[in-house]
Structure 1
């Protein structure tokens, strides 16, 4: 017997969807509508409310009404009610303005939610984002007048004029900022605002590494360095979140060392190193600078040492071999480097060609030693032979330090200069003439001479001075002498004091163009883990770890360290007679070697 059922068209469609398979119901929006043309963002978005109002154009409640509303939580949905709004009113006498502090540097934009009003025409506002209060309160120039302290819109817009709709929400960005100023430009206009939320963009990854000691200042410095690099881990590993927002392969090395010690193996590192390789066909130099190609090799050595991805290292073999041979060809018969392209170490040394030569000589030797390590790991005898020959040749030439801290640090790390001689130069004047980028290598050179306590003092002085001046991330450049009588970045400008953001700097960081979140300044984070917690990687993939703590004047230090096999945890407590008692937890498969 056959049962015949007649179905209406709508029921028939539902029947087919339900019983002819799951392919329709399980297909994604990308597959069904956009034919695979949608690409998911790697970055997470989150909202942040301002923590305080630093300044407002009107304190009498006539032009700026109920600004405290902007500090209150907001669920993200407007209503037709006009209640609970902050209101800006501009007239012929005053432009209504508010300056907000979000409490911490972030990367992203802002969302402005405007309420209902009698006039439905859009109103025009000006938005200024700033890494410092001074920047948020400044005007823009076209960067055609060197030495001017006005801000710029280079690389990322931070000064906008836009229209705000009636009963609507707009988003703008992205840039690096902590402070936001909003001005109601239209005179005779009224703008009710329910919220000005920051939209933070970041990789939602755990902080696997940690550092805690009896010095709260060092703890804060470690955390700030980690956070600085975290913000720069955007689609690629950037140098800065306001500018340049580029993959600079020299800047990448200290950033990758911080990532190794805090976040562990991260794909953004591979992506960025590959970007440098793929956009620089030989005989080109990465970013146009020979030293940055050298740093690319050194970074690969350290990334593999910590994370042990041999397959990824093999992917570099062909390019690496060509690059090593290219570098070798730049050594003359006396062993002296003769690198072409842009000759650059860091900004403070950029106008001293003699120091640059000394640094490049050392950096080339460090690179060939890194290349030799990589060749051994790859079982590449020919590449190893090339590196050994280059090392022997480079060791014939001993350049002067010129009493320069950058040169002394690199020459000590390369083994050309004794660690004691390097320390004598590095400790002269303490934190004076330290640098944000090469400060990391200065600290490493001090560790070679056992000057751990002295290095911690310089960390506390130099990087700590940035914290004293209001930093929540570390800067592209910092001249230690400029801390005296300086206005902190979270305060309004004071003409009687030095303005650390607008008045300081040279080169690309003149005035307010300076980046106040620059990953190359994060060196103390990895240094404190390596030398105070004493966690030193001995064999690739962090499979063998030496624990050799150096507490200096600290009473205790504890923390964690990520390996591909799990987390290492250590705690060191100073006992009577300067003896250190240690507790160590390590995952299975990791061999721990403890120094007596």
Structure 2
């Protein structure tokens, strides 16, 4: 199996577990995430025009009932806060008005609070010494309570309750509806006169709210943004702009209301409008950079740092695709962001928020983002989340939504039991010229198969034995069809698709490379795919970092880490040589000059800061530092470091309990872990020496050492 924060004001922290008797705001699970996702994704503009997402947008439940039972050791007074109108019942008795506080007697007490809010998420905060809102409160969007003609209330037997959603709003004044990311002041680095205006340079790609200092006058102020100088100066074709009317007699600092992405800003004043200088309020998601990487190769170090900054910019309320253009939550982009996050910030809360926002609400009417493959990536992301975090509670909470989404997929299979694009479905795969999406594409069947296996694994985790058996059976049957229908022995590869029941001649990299790290292929089949597809220049090359990520992962899994290191330096290093300060949505080294900025038929359509461009973080952490969990939450893990062309490297890989620290040279490895039981795997020309652990020979020049937590191991060997 491919291993498979929140502010009011300026404070944001990640909280996984709440202290006992610590109150927090609660809501129906997923509702805050859906509401916040709607708010964020509808901030996009294109040349000043509102540009919303094109998929179905869900909303929160407007009426929610919360309850919990207590056995109080003593009487107490509790305080009640809600986002919306509410009523309160204690032991089934309705209280008058909307009490902000009430006294509870000693003994058994059942508290029910029903909250209504059309505009914002119905949320509840109850605080006392013994009674506090927390993740164990139960909620429902329909309590099915009715009163018959005798005045007797129903027994509510038909009501489905689930555990409350929460984050870390742990103060009554920290209302969820007031959420904002923090900002900090940043200066521009240069300002030059250009034509009728001024060109402002902030030195690198950035994101936030532009501030014009001592702005005054009557007239207009036209602001053109660019990730490149060329874009900012292209007043008729740049992607984003602000056209402002100014009527300000006294000079004052003015910060714009809508955040933008840019490196350069070209500003043209008209009339007698003037300003002194330009700065910005940089908006960010505060997440500690727990993962680190440094090596003897300065270019590689620069690649890692730029990848880290790219990840910083595309980590917002959720993991988004690119900061300039879409600013939307795309499942395929997010799936890669999760993986990079596990080797950088290990920010579990943003992963969960993004997964919930992508899933949305019932009923399911289309694929996630309307894209078939993006639905399947959503399934894969959930088991990956568990593997890295060990958070079984989240799996249990999201499992019903997994079931309904999987049933939606299974119901859309054709007569042969395969996925084929139906009306309204987008079969994406990748941005590639001439890539056929017709018929039954093998890549989609492969992702569905892995999604079914993920369902079986999650069902097993939750002791749902019947579900496990059914999903495992479906996965096995589909896997058989994939080999029967698509494997071409002569070509040593999976065909790209079937059309009208017949295998097509086209071979692409996608299905073949995923089959490698899904471990679906025999040794002979792996070798065939490696030679005839992945290392074959006759097969259409991949130009997006999105799929280069998977291609290089497949090659790492095949032992081609020297080749991958060279490719990583060439591809991402190529962008650096062109002056990239963040990594791009697409990179073709054959393009020249401003050609690099064009995409989607638009002169500056390409995103120059795109989440999937940050994949070196994941590749370096997993395949060169070599750290990977083999049991949930790093209960067990392996470290298999690989220097490739490096003389030395060092880094930290985050886990739920702290960071695994690793330093590797050609003669010495030092490692320390705060968690679980690990296995250090290494290749050495001589028998390694380690005073802190037992060295075990596992093959020719292959050795392993078991690692206990909180122990520093020094291993002397010869690479």
Range of TM-score over shorter length = 0.7 to 0.9
Q: 1:163 aligns with which of 239, 243, 246?
A: 246
- The CA distance in 1 between the partners of 2:201 and 2:410, in whole Å, is 52
After superposition, give the CA deviation of every residue in 1:513-534 in whole Å (9 maximum; x if it has no partner). Answer: 2211111222221111000000
Trace 1:221-260 onto structure 2 (pairs within 5 A). 221-260=303-342
Q: 2:612 aligned with 1:512, yes or no?
A: no
Q: 1:540 aligns with which of 632, 640, 644?
A: 632
Partner of 1:177: 262
- The CA distance in 2 between the partners of 1:362 and 1:243, in whole Å, is 31
Residue 38 and residue 557 in structure 1: after superposition, are their counterparts in 2 closer, same or farther (change >3 A)? closer
- The CA distance in 1 between the partners of 2:174 and 2:456, in whole Å, is 44
Give the CA deviation at 1:562. Answer: 1.0
Give the CA deviation at 1:558. Answer: 1.1
| Contact 2:224–2:238 (CA under 8 A) maintained in structure 1 | no
Partner of 1:560: 652
| Contact 1:561–1:568 (CA under 8 A) maintained in structure 2 | yes
| Contact 2:629–2:637 (CA under 8 A) maintained in structure 1 | yes
Partner of 2:274: 191
| Contact 1:433–1:479 (CA under 8 A) maintained in structure 2 | no
Give the CA deviation at 1:52. Answer: 2.7
Partner of 1:461: 570
Which deviates more from structure 2 when the two are superposed, residues 520-529 or residues 340-349? 340-349
- The CA distance in 2 between the partners of 1:335 and 1:536, in whole Å, is 35
- The CA distance in 1 between the partners of 2:318 and 2:434, in whole Å, is 26
> Secondary structure of 2:664's match?
strand
Partner of 1:361: 445
Give the CA deviation at 1:163. Answer: 1.9
Partner of 1:492: none
Give the CA deviation at 1:168. Answer: 0.7
Q: Select the structure that is richer in helix.
A: 1
Residue 170 and residue 546 in structure 1: after superposition, are their counterparts in 2 closer, same or farther (change >3 A)? same
Residue 564 and residue 414 in structure 1: after superposition, are their counterparts in 2 closer, same or farther (change >3 A)? closer
| Contact 2:213–2:278 (CA under 8 A) maintained in structure 1 | yes
Partner of 2:209: 109
Residue 126 and residue 561 in structure 1: after superposition, are their counterparts in 2 closer, same or farther (change >3 A)? same
> Secondary structure of 1:445's match?
helix
Partner of 1:522: 614
> Secondary structure of 1:511's match?
coil
Unaligned runs of 5+ in 2: 1-78, 80-99, 101-124, 126-171, 487-494, 497-505, 682-702, 704-719
Give the CA deviation at 1:268. Answer: 1.9
| Contact 2:449–2:478 (CA under 8 A) maintained in structure 1 | yes
Partner of 2:104: none
Partner of 1:449: 558
Partner of 2:188: 50
| Contact 2:220–2:243 (CA under 8 A) maintained in structure 1 | no
Partner of 1:470: 579
- The CA distance in 2 between the partners of 1:164 and 1:554, in whole Å, is 60
- The CA distance in 2 between the partners of 1:328 and 1:192, in whole Å, is 60
After superposition, give the CA deviation of every residue in 1:535-585 in whole Å (9 maximum; x if it has no partner). Answer: 01111112211001121111112110111111111111113xxxxx32111
- The CA distance in 2 between the partners of 1:506 and 1:36, in whole Å, is 42
After superposition, give the CA deviation of every residue in 1:299-352 in whole Å (9 maximum; x if it has no partner). Answer: 111111111111111011111122233334455675644454222212226741
Residue 190 and residue 281 in structure 1: after superposition, are their counterparts in 2 closer, same or farther (change >3 A)? closer
| Contact 1:366–1:413 (CA under 8 A) maintained in structure 2 | no
Trace 1:209-358 onto structure 2 (pairs within 5 A). 209-279=291-361, 281-330=363-412, 336-338=418-420, 340=422, 341-348=425-432, 351-353=435-437, 357-358=441-442
Partner of 2:678: 592
Q: 2:203 aligned with 1:98, yes or no?
A: no
> Secondary structure of 1:480's match?
coil
Q: Select the structure that is richer in strand.
A: 2
Residue 415 and residue 332 in structure 1: after superposition, are their counterparts in 2 closer, same or farther (change >3 A)? farther
Q: CA RMSD in A?
A: 2.7
Residue 211 and residue 429 in structure 1: after superposition, are their counterparts in 2 closer, same or farther (change >3 A)? farther
Partner of 1:493: none
| Contact 2:584–2:610 (CA under 8 A) maintained in structure 1 | yes
| Contact 2:341–2:347 (CA under 8 A) maintained in structure 1 | yes
> Secondary structure of 2:587's match?
coil
Unaligned runs of 5+ in 1: 1-22, 58-93, 141-149, 488-497, 576-580
Q: What TM-score does the superposition give when structure 2 sets the normalisation length?
A: 0.63
Paired residues, number: 485
Partner of 2:17: none
Give the CA deviation at 1:110. Answer: 0.9
| Contact 1:324–1:387 (CA under 8 A) maintained in structure 2 | no
Residue 422 and residue 48 in structure 1: after superposition, are their counterparts in 2 closer, same or farther (change >3 A)? farther
- The CA distance in 1 between the partners of 2:554 and 2:439, in whole Å, is 17
| Contact 1:126–1:160 (CA under 8 A) maintained in structure 2 | yes
Higher relative contact order (CA 8 A, sep 6+): 1
Q: 2:521 aligned with 1:423, yes or no?
A: no
Q: 2:239 aligned with 1:152, yes or no?
A: yes
Trace 1:474-489 onto structure 2 (pairs within 5 A). 474-482=583-591, 486-487=592-593
- The CA distance in 2 between the partners of 1:583 and 1:331, in whole Å, is 52
| Contact 2:218–2:273 (CA under 8 A) maintained in structure 1 | no
| Contact 2:600–2:606 (CA under 8 A) maintained in structure 1 | no
